[in-house]
């Protein structure tokens, strides 16, 4: 990653496995391919296959199996579409192992350094363990994107975000994801972090839309986008969740800047 910028990453969220046991593996395969196809046709360079199954411990064997099989399926069908992996469980070894097995290019890890209080309780940084595991499995070509003070959690200690960002870079993150409580807050946070981490790549993890994309890319090395590109009329049982027209317009604006 980061050979060319800006990096546009579309997050392909999978319906939570634990709450959708009535759905077959074939349904998930159709879901993954249909929506990956929307992104590929629009010219999105990267997608992030995102498991949303919450667990208090490591990722389940079901999660590992489904994520790996769906990742391989997407890679086979759309070989030119860059792929990343995120797993909801606080289990960086799972995300890295799935990425390595599927040929994915990156993982996103939410609590890389420090500690955070999440909706599921406290989580502590596993950045050093992640970097060691990546080395152990021969996956050094998998880029680690690390959130710093993710907006869905609260830090357990009082270090500043720029200080935590420096921790993350020194621990081994290849790129940082910064997201504030609002888009202006995100820009302010990136400006502060940039003073500490210098040229380290910084991406915006949420809150980017077609209307603020130009400003977002002027301040960052790329963006993660999802909800802004989703169909507004999609139902719970619809396989196609992302809007082809919104995706094309978003990428047209990204290329035109």
CA 4/CA 154 separation, integer angstroms = 33
Q: What is the pLDDT of residues 160-207, one digit of tens each?
A: 999 999 999 999 999 999 999 999 999 999 999 999 999 999 999 999
Structure tokens at 20: 């959708």
Please say whether the beta carbons of 229 and 202 come within 8 A: no
Q: Where are the domains of the chain?
A: 7-256
Q: How far apart are CA 94 and CA 47, in angstroms?
A: 18
DSSP annotation string for 55-87: -SSSPPHHHHHHHHHHHHHHHHH-TTSEEEEE-
pLDDT at residue 5, rounded to an integer? 67
Residue 65 has pLDDT above 90, yes or no: yes
User: Quick one: average pLDDT of 140-163?
Assistant: 95
CATH of segment(s) 7-256: 3.20.20.70
Prediction pTM value: 0.95
Share of the chain above pLDDT 70, in %: 100
pLDDT-based confidence at 56, cuts 50/70/90? confident
């Amino acid at each position: 990653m980061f050979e060319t910028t800006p990096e546009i990453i579309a997050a392909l969220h999978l319906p939570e496995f634990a709450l959708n046991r009535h759905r077959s593996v074939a349904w998930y395969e159709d879901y993954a391919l249909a929506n990956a196809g929307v992104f590929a046709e629009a010219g999105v360079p990267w997608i992030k296959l995102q498991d949303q199954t919450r667990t208090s411990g490591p990722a389940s064997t079901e999660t590992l199996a489904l994520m790996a099989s769906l990742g391989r399926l997407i890679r086979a069908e759309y070989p030119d579409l860059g792929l990343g992996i995120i797993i909801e469980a606080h289990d960086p070894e799972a995300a890295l192992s799935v990425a390595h097995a599927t040929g994915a290019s990156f993982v996103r890890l939410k609590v890389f350094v420090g500690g955070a209080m999440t909706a599921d309780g406290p989580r502590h940084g596993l950045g050093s363990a992640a970097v060691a595991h990546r080395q152990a499995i021969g996956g050094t070509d998998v880029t680690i994107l690390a959130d710093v003070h993710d907006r869905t959690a609260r830090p357990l200690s009082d270090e500043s975000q720029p200080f935590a960002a420096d921790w993350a870079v020194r621990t081994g993150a290849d790129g940082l994801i910064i997201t504030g409580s609002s888009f202006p807050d995100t820009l302010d946070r990136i400006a502060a972090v940039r003073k500490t981490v210098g040229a380290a790549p910084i991406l915006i993890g949420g809150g980017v839309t077609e209307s603020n994309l130009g400003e977002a890319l002027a301040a960052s090395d790329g963006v993660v986008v999802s909800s802004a590109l989703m169909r507004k009329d999609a139902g719970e049982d619809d396989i196609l969740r992302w809007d082809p027209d919104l995706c094309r317009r978003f990428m047209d604006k990204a290329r035109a800047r």
